[in-house]
Amino acid sequence: MIKHIFTLIWNKRRKNFLLFLEIFLAFAVLFAVFTFAVQSFRSYSSPLGFDTEDNWIAFMEWDQDLDSTALLDMKLRLERELEDKPQIISAAYVGNITPFSGSTWSTTTDDNGFELSTRLVEGDEDYLETAGVNVIKGRHFNEDDYNAKYQAIIFNQLLVESTFGDKPVLDSVILLNGEKKVVGIIDHFKYMGEFSEEANLTVSLKPKSSRDLGNLQMRLAPGTPADFEAEVNRTISEITKRNDFIIQNLDTERIEESRDTWVPLIASLCICAFLIINVALGLFGVLYYTISKRRAEIGLRRTLGATKAVISRQFVGEVLLVSGAALLIGIFFAIQLPLMNVMDIDDINYYLSIGFTSVLILSVVLLCAFYPSRQAANIHPAMALHEE
Amino acid sequence: MLKNYFKLAIKVLGRRKFFTFISLFGISFTLMILMLITAFLDNELGPNAPLSEKDRMVFMSRIKMTLEVKDTIPLVDSTLVDGIMRYDTTYDYSNRNSSTSISSYSYSFLDKYMRKVDGASVESIYSPGSSFDVFINNNKLTLSAIYTDAPYWSVYDFEMLEGRTYQPQQVANQAQVVVVTDKTARGFFGRSANVLGEMIELDGKNYEVIGVVKAPTINKRFVNADVFIPLTNLNARNLSDESFFGGFEGAFLASDASKVNRVKSDLVRKSTLITLPNPEEYNTLTVMPMDYKERYARSIYYRGDDPKKSARIVFGSLIGLLLLFVLLPTLNLVNVNISRIIERSSEIGVRKAFGAHSGTILFQFVFENIILTFLGGIIGFVLALVLIQVINDSGALGDAILRFNFRIFLYSFLICLFFGILSGLIPAYRMSKMQIAKALKQNQL
């Protein structure tokens, strides 16, 4: 049967070639978009790891002329006065790597005898708790860490799993820009945004007096009205004697950051939907037309005893064979991407995307082939032969 | 003749409504998306205020300093010869970058070394990226500011709505004046006109509004700001700082577009004459003058310090993706066209039997297809207008506002023509080559 269908297709190869090319191109376009979509959604579905609601960050400039004690005094006074307000639950100083700022800082070292590659975030001892980051092993930083022999760091779970495997890491001393001691492990901290992929991360502790910690994160009581910001603004400008700072609401930043992915994602999915409808309609039209051209053939076969099911199977089979061949070629090329590691994307995303694309195209083809084939099967032999 | 073809085309379209629908659906949506993309690209890359002269602009926004040290890299190669390990060590004597910093420039660097550039008619130094929170009736407004010199207004041709920009004299005198955008005026004063002479307090200083410009629709930090302040109002240390790194960038307007490369090479030449103050810290300096396209591409796809490569990759893949996108609907249309032209084989047979040339037939069918495309183009145009309205209202593109202008209309027209010819040519060619006898036999007249 398949051999027979193949002969039929081969006889009309010029015509089928266009259909073949169309399915192949549709596969290529859908595959590209779906890979992007699958990757985005997989990243989106993994937890952010910190709170954005009721969290503000003040990005501040400090006077370069202040000496370090005066700066520390000023910083401590600002933190104390802000924490005294009932609306602010806690406040903490953070370095220049803040959520959604787009800044990253990464380092790679093989001082330990193995490669340790990680991103870095700096904050004071209250930072992780203020941000709402969850420690799953060990503990948060505390004030005693400043006096300890080794500087304290906290790893994220991904780093521990990817670099150390099952070996115990907690309380060990690691060489990372100096000797550091791991005091805790956090679960997630996707500070680059909801659509970013989790990366190896080290949070390192810096004292509040450090000039590297210029920004202040505040956790507010739930339901604090937005106009409270004016009060915070006044307090900061009174204490720092400067006006060139801004306060950002992390929740707003999160939404804006995600919009940079949502907009192209939705736009490309819409374009895909249009392309699929376009291809489906075209396919339907061509099949419908071809079948009405082959009425005589159908009539003859029906007279010779072919059942309706056989006729309809033949037409569906023809279309499936052409599109299946196009899909196979498409999959062949698509598979090369994960195999050759062309782009920095997880392999599983490619395979999922190939799966989705194939299923979608096959079902569209089946749907479009079904109705014209039924139509073909319903042709009355006497009528068809009479026309001829 | 064309009138006849036109009538015929309309008749044929009315005959098979389902096929006409399929064709028009594909054409109109494809053209709609292409028009949207054109409108978007025109906003980003077309000559619109304040970047009308982008073909003449050269930017100096990034400086790279590295410390290169001579280093010996031993390479140990081991091979097993006759069961005994042999070692073969080579020493490679080469440069190694031990530290690299990339930043924007300091004012003094640009002012001291990058003046009187060959081929440039206007030179401007400015510092984008400052922001201030201001509160009006308990509503927060985050104002972004650019500190500029006076030539800034000659490089970037902002559309002046009211008042005027500050003059070199005012900049030199540290005049506390600002130019705001209409968007800022609306947010700050509640009205976009008659705001001259009003005061704005920023960073503890009171500034008088002396001009209102139209807010740029392009989201680039070197032009998109809410207020523009004379740069002498910055802390004096910012201007006198002798280090090469700072928060400034330079823009140079070549006297005409052909001199852009001259400006770039002169900037690079000037940089090679600089003696580095502290060779232990950094011993090489690279300036990266870029034209607008390179700068634009670099912001999308960062490729180290080679903006040319960024431009090639970004614009190359853009064209590739567009072609891929157009190819699919075109193929679909070709498929549908081939099917529906067959039903007119009798007509072709008769015309050929009466002496029509293949070329005439080819022309007729391509012409019919172009008519179909333009019908779809009109629908697509209307759809695109509606969608542009929706996109602008939703603010999905940030500050970018898509508009239709004559240029986009012209591009759309060309796109339609190209699409029509492309999708009509293959089916028409096939039909025009049809044997007369076969054509006449196939269909009952």
pLDDT at residue A388 is higher than 60: no
B204 contacts on A by Cβ (under 8 Å): 242-243
C-alpha Rg value of chain B to the nearest Å: 31
pLDDT at res. B330: 84
Across the interface, of A15, A29, A243, the residue whose CB is closest to B324 is: A29
**Cα–Cα distance for residue pair B277/A36, rounded to 1 Å:** 48
CA atoms within 13 A on the CB side of B394: 10
pLDDT at residue A218 is higher than 90: yes
**Quick check: B335 and A22 CB within 8 A?**
yes
**What are the tokens at A110?**
């093989």
pLDDT at residue B149 is higher than 90: yes
pLDDT-wise least confident of A154-158, A357-361, B72-76: B72-76
Encoded amino acid at B335, one letter: N
pLDDT at res. B125: 95
User: Is the alpha carbon torsion for B347, B350, B351, B356 positive or negative?
Assistant: positive
> According to DSSP H, which parts of chain A are helical?
2-11, 13-45, 68-84, 127-131, 157-159, 228-240, 250-293, 295-303, 308-340, 347-377, 381-387
Distance between first and last Cα of chain A: 26
pLDDT at residue A10 is higher than 80: no
pLDDT at res. B391: 87
In which element (H, E) is residue B249 found?
Answer: strand B249-254
Do B329 and B26 meet the contact criterion of CB atoms below 8 Å apart? yes
Cβ neighbours for A292, distance < 8 A, ≥ 6 positions apart = none
**What are the tokens at A285?**
């039209």
**Quick check: B328 and A285 CB within 8 A?**
no
Higher pLDDT, B381 or B306: B381
Which of B344, B334, B348 lies closest to B424, judged by CA?
B334
Q: What is the DSSP letter of A345?
A: S
Across the interface, of B130, B328, B397, the residue whose CB is closest to A26 is: B328
A227 contacts on B by Cβ (under 8 Å): 138-139
Q: Is the peptide bond before B50 cis (omega within 30 degrees of 0)?
A: yes
Across the interface, of B133, B332, B334, the residue whose CB is closest to A278 is: B332
**Quick check: B140 and A229 CB within 8 A?**
yes
**Quick check: B328 and A290 CB within 8 A?**
no
**What are the tokens at B89?**
């060590």
Mean pLDDT of A75-103: 89
**Cα–Cα distance for residue pair B344/B373, rounded to 1 Å:** 19
Angstroms from B353 CA to nearest CA on chain A? 24
Tell me the pLDDT of chain A averaged across its residues.
Answer: 87
Specify the 3-state DSSP secondary structure of B72.
strand
In chain A, whose CA is at the least distance from the CA of B26? A278
Mean pLDDT of A161-174: 88
B33 contacts on A by Cβ (under 8 Å): 271, 274
Cα dist from A111 to A107, A116, A178, B288, B317, whole Å: 12, 8, 10, 35, 40
Count how many residues are written for chain A. Answer: 388
Cα torsion at B387, B391, B394, B400 (round to 10°)? -160
- Whole-prediction pTM: 0.78
Encoded amino acid at B430, one letter: R
Cβ neighbours for B83, distance < 8 A, ≥ 6 positions apart = none
Tell me the pLDDT band of B444, cut-offs 50, 70 and 90.
very low
Rounded to 5 degrees, what angle do the CA atoms A63, A67, A72 make? 85
Q: How do strand A215-220 and strand A55-59 relate by DSSP bridges? A: antiparallel
Optimal mutation site among B24, B241, B339, interface A, most CBs of chain A within 10 A = B339
Angstroms from A243 CA to nearest CA on chain B? 5
User: Is the alpha carbon torsion for A198, A202, A205, A206 positive or negative?
Assistant: negative
Q: For residue B390, how many other CB atoms are within 10 A of its CB? A: 10
Angstroms from B30 CA to nearest CA on chain A? 9
**Cα–Cα distance for residue pair B126/B73, rounded to 1 Å:** 44
**Quick check: A285 and B396 CB within 8 A?**
no
Specify the 3-state DSSP secondary structure of A13.
helix
Mean pLDDT of B389-415: 80
A288 contacts on B by Cβ (under 8 Å): 18
Cβ neighbours for A354, distance < 8 A, ≥ 6 positions apart = A31, A331, A334, A335
- Residues in chain A whose beta carbon is closer than 8 A to a beta carbon of chain B? 15, 18-19, 21-22, 25-26, 28-29, 64, 226-227, 229-230, 233, 242-247, 259, 263, 271, 274-275, 277-279, 281-282, 284-286, 288-290, 293
**What are the tokens at A252?**
């707003």
pLDDT at res. B445: 43
Which of B64, B27, B26 lies closest to B298, judged by CA?
B64
A284 contacts on B by Cβ (under 8 Å): 22
**Cα–Cα distance for residue pair B427/B19, rounded to 1 Å:** 15
**Cα–Cα distance for residue pair B328/B317, rounded to 1 Å:** 17
pLDDT at res. A168: 87
Rounded to 5 degrees, φ, ψ at A120 are -125, 140
Q: What is the DSSP letter of A162?
A: I
In chain A, whose CA is at the least distance from the CA of B327? A25
Q: For residue A318, how many other CB atoms are within 10 A of its CB? A: 21
Mean pLDDT of A352-369: 93
Across the interface, of A21, A227, A281, the residue whose CB is closest to B331 is: A21
Which of A49, A45, A41, A34 lies closest to A261, judged by CA?
A41
**Cα–Cα distance for residue pair B159/B413, rounded to 1 Å:** 29
Which of B375, B296, B270 lies closest to B21, judged by CA?
B375
What is the b/e burial string over B225-236, where b = at least 16 CB atoms within 10 angstroms of the residue's CB? bbbbbbbbbbee
Do A182 and A155 meet the contact criterion of CB atoms below 8 Å apart? yes
**Cα–Cα distance for residue pair B12/B367, rounded to 1 Å:** 13
A293 contacts on B by Cβ (under 8 Å): 342
B22 contacts on A by Cβ (under 8 Å): 281-282, 284-285
Optimal mutation site among B21, B219, B332, interface A, most CBs of chain A within 10 A = B332
Task: Tell me the per-residue pLDDT of A49-69, one tens digit each, with 9 for 90 and over.
Answer: 999 988 999 988 787 777 888
Cβ neighbours for A65, distance < 8 A, ≥ 6 positions apart = none
Enumerate helices (H) and strands (E) in chain B, giving the number of each.
Answer: 14, 11
Which of A306, A299, A319 lies closest to A369, judged by CA?
A319
ipTM of the modeled complex: 0.72
Tell me the pLDDT of chain B averaged across its residues.
Answer: 84
Mean pLDDT of B116-129: 91
A22 contacts on B by Cβ (under 8 Å): 328, 331-332, 335
Do B307 and B297 meet the contact criterion of CB atoms below 8 Å apart? yes
Angstroms from B143 CA to nearest CA on chain A? 9
pLDDT-wise least confident of A144-148, B205-209, B405-409: B405-409
B40 contacts on A by Cβ (under 8 Å): none
**Cα–Cα distance for residue pair B259/B193, rounded to 1 Å:** 39
**What are the tokens at B163?**
């008042």
pLDDT at residue A48 is higher than 80: yes
pLDDT at res. A11: 74
A19 contacts on B by Cβ (under 8 Å): 335
Report the share of chain A in percent with pLDDT over 70: 99
pLDDT at res. A283: 85
pLDDT at residue B96 is higher than 70: no
Do A200 and B105 meet the contact criterion of CB atoms below 8 Å apart? no
pLDDT at res. A50: 92
Angstroms from B285 CA to nearest CA on chain A? 23
Query: What string of H, E and C letters represents the secondary structure of B4-69?
Result: HHHHHHHHHHHHCHHHHHHHHHHHHHHHHHHHHHHHHHHHHHCCCCCCCCHHHEEEEEEEEEEEEE
Which of left, alpha, beta for A367 (phi over 0: left; psi -120 to 50: alpha)?
alpha
pLDDT at res. B71: 65
